[in-house]
């Protein structure tokens, strides 16, 4: 029996995961759910999925939730540490991290500390502190199961050969909302335009990251840590249809790809049922109907974020945490119309240039680089 804690159940991945868990039947249970502040949706989820415990970080949200669910037997935890308490619970044997941003790091480390099976949708924690997360997971014997579609594809494709036989991995990128938009007009685009993703339906932050291609920059670093890759073993190709979710190339030139329609239910279910596969309700792939798949080299002038991703993965140290933190602040500023779209990557690059990189960082070094970068971007935007 898998007793699952979904961290970030009110988000895009979290809601998909609840659907998947229901469709998997009685061996899988959404035993605990967490949210940052969305108490209304969390209350609906309690009524629909009957978890034993829920956690909500926001105090006021917690008060409203308790009021709304008075009489319900669910246990409600609130406050900063409530999510870690949920993760450490002895009844939980599987954790899905679907929180957005750096905020997922403490719960990720707690899950590893308590030797929980751990599926990672969240990528920012790995980008910031991948060295520490993977080292602690190795020591505790915890397998990190990727949910991000590209990394799930690589994880699945890698089983076609030995690690020592691998030549490189090729991450596919849809190109986001502005893949064909005139470059000289990108500084005028609005949050509404940027939030209109051509192939995937996702949370706001990752949709903006997809439009700048910062998402791919983060995914390069995510891949490095998940699969123990060197920077030069990671490539990116633009693939508009999002049918090939990523590929691996072996020494003999064989390229193994994982394909499917762009539906996050597929990688979520694979991580939950691994190492088994179960029938799923996702639509089957009809290649004849699709007709053609296209590929192109990424244009670094249109997508300077990708350059930053390769820089960060190459230099490593505290630089990826700086890139990630600066991006989180800049994306918020763009969504609040305090920064132009093209200002996001510009702000991130400026902060990366200013940063004195520290190699082999401790968790403290990473957290202080993260705070430093956030402050720098806030000041720059002001
Ligand atoms: P989302 O914005 O839709 O949901 C985020 C969830 O995290 C919500 O439940 C929210 O309550 C919770 N949360 C936000 N801030 C928090 C905080 N400070 N503390 C605790 N909880 C907090 O995001 P999403 O699109 O579901 O993405 C979640 C993660 O999965 C991201 O890291 C994203 O990069 C990754 N991911 C998402 C997709 C997708 O299809 N949405 C695909 C691949 C990877
Ligand atoms: Mg992805």
Inter-CA distances, 55 with 46, 80, 116, 203, 311, Å? 11, 9, 18, 20, 38
Do 296 and 257 belong to one domain? Answer: yes
Do 32 and 170 belong to one domain? Answer: no
The predicted structure's pLDDT at residue 197: 85
Peptide bond into 176 cis (omega under 30): no
Phi, psi of 219 (to 5 degrees): -70, -30
The predicted structure's pLDDT at residue 146: 98
- Whether residue 120 lies inside any domain: the answer is yes
Do 157 and 254 belong to one domain? Answer: yes
Do 164 and 311 belong to one domain? Answer: yes
Which atom of ligand 1 is least distant from the CA of 200? Answer: 40
The predicted structure's pLDDT at residue 110: 98
Distance 63 CA to ligand 2 centre (A): 35
Do 195 and 302 belong to one domain? Answer: yes
10-residue mean pLDDT profile of the chain (382 residues): values are 98 98 97 98 98 98 98 97 98 98 98 98 98 98 98 98 97 94 95 91 95 98 98 97 98 98 97 97 92 96 95 98 99 98 98 98 98 98 92
- Whether residue 80 lies inside any domain: the answer is yes
Among 146, 166, 190, identify where a domain stops: 146
Do 157 and 119 belong to one domain? Answer: no
The predicted structure's pLDDT at residue 32: 98
Q: What 8-state DSSP symbol labels residue 142?
A: -
Do 218 and 78 belong to one domain? Answer: no
The predicted structure's pLDDT at residue 282: 83
- Whether residue 330 lies inside any domain: the answer is no
Whole-angstrom distance between the N-terminal and C-terminal Cα of the chain?
51
The predicted structure's pLDDT at residue 251: 98
Given ligand 1 and candidates 12, 211, 266, which is best to mutate, with the most ligand atoms within 8 Å of its CB? 12
- Whether residue 38 lies inside any domain: the answer is yes
The predicted structure's pLDDT at residue 268: 98
Q: How many domains does the chain have?
A: 2
Give me 128's structure tokens.
């910031």
The predicted structure's pLDDT at residue 274: 98
Do 16 and 135 belong to one domain? Answer: yes
Do 185 and 255 belong to one domain? Answer: yes
- Whether residue 95 lies inside any domain: the answer is yes
List own/partner pairs for 329-332 with CB under 8 A and 24 or more apart: 329/373, 329/374, 329/377, 329/378, 329/381, 330/377, 330/381, 331/205, 331/208, 331/209, 331/214
- Whether residue 172 lies inside any domain: the answer is yes
Whether pTM > 0.95 for this model: the answer is yes
Per DSSP, the residues of 69-125 read TTT---EEEESTTHHHHHHH-TT--EEEE---SGGGHHHHHHHHHTT-EEEE---HH
Do 99 and 232 belong to one domain? Answer: no
Host H or E run for residue 5: strand 2-7
Do 87 and 226 belong to one domain? Answer: no
Which atom of ligand 1 is least distant from the CA of 201? Answer: 40
Ligand that lies nearest to the alpha carbon of residue 100, given by its number in the listed order: 1
Helices (H) and strands (E) in the chain, counts: 16, 11
Beta strands in 137-267 (DSSP E): 144-146, 166-173, 234-238, 244-250, 255-259
In tens, the pLDDT along 107-160 reads 999 999 999 999 999 999 999 999 999 999 999 999 999 999 999 999 999 999
- Whether residue 211 lies inside any domain: the answer is yes
Among 146, 166, 183, identify where a domain stops: 146
Q: Could you tell me which residues come within 8 angstroms of residue 6 by beta carbon, excluding any fewer than 6 positions away? A: 14, 17, 18, 21, 30, 32, 33, 34, 96, 98
In tens, the pLDDT along 222-275 reads 999 999 999 999 999 999 999 999 999 999 999 999 999 999 999 999 999 999
Among 125, 146, 167, identify where a domain stops: 146
Do 182 and 128 belong to one domain? Answer: no
Owning domain of residue 103: 2-146
- Whether residue 379 lies inside any domain: the answer is no
């Amino acid at each position: 029996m898998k007793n699952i804690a979904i961290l970030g159940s009110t988000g895009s991945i979290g809601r998909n995961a609840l659907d998947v868990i229901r469709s998997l039947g009685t061996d899988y249970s959404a035993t605990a759910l967490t949210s940052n502040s969305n108490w209304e949706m969390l209350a609906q989820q309690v009524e629909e999925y009957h978890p034993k415990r829920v956690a909500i970080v926001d105090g006021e949200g917690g008060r409203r939730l308790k009021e709304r669910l008075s009489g319900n037997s669910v246990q409600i935890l609130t406050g900063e540490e409530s999510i870690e308490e949920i993760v450490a619970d002895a009844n939980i044997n599987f954790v899905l991290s679907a929180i957005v941003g750096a905020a997922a790091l403490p719960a990720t480390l707690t899950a590893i500390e308590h030797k929980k099976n751990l599926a990672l949708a969240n990528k920012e924690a790995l980008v910031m502190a991948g060295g520490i997360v993977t080292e602690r997971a190795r020591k505790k014997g915890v397998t990190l199961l990727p949910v991000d579609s590209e990394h799930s594809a690589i994880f699945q494709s890698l089983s076609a050969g030995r690690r020592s036989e691998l030549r490189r991995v090729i991450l596919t990128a849809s190109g986001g909302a502005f893949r064909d938009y005139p470059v000289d007009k990108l500084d005028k685009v609005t949050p509404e335009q940027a939030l209109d993703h051509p192939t995937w339906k996702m949370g706001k932050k990752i949709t903006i990251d997809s439009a700048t291609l910062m998402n791919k920059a983060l995914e390069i670093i995510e891949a490095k840590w998940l699969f123990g890759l060197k920077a030069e073993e990671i490539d990116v190709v633009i693939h508009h249809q999002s049918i090939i979710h990523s590929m691996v190339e072996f020494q003999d030139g064989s390229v193994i790809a994982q394909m499917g329609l762009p539906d996050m239910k597929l990688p979520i279910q694979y991580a939950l049922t691994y190492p088994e596969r179960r029938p799923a309700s996702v639509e089957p792939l009809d290649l004849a109907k699709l007709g053609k798949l296209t590929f192109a080299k990424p244009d670094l002038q249109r997508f300077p974020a990708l350059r930053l991703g390769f820089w960060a993965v190459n230099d490593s140290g505290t630089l990826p945490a700086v890139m990630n933190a600066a991006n989180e602040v800049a994306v918020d500023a763009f969504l609040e119309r305090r920064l132009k779209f093209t200002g996001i990557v510009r702000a991130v690059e400026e902060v990366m240039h200013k940063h004195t990189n520290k190699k082999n960082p401790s968790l403290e070094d990473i957290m202080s680089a993260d705070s430093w970068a956030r402050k720098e971007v806030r000041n720059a935007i002001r």
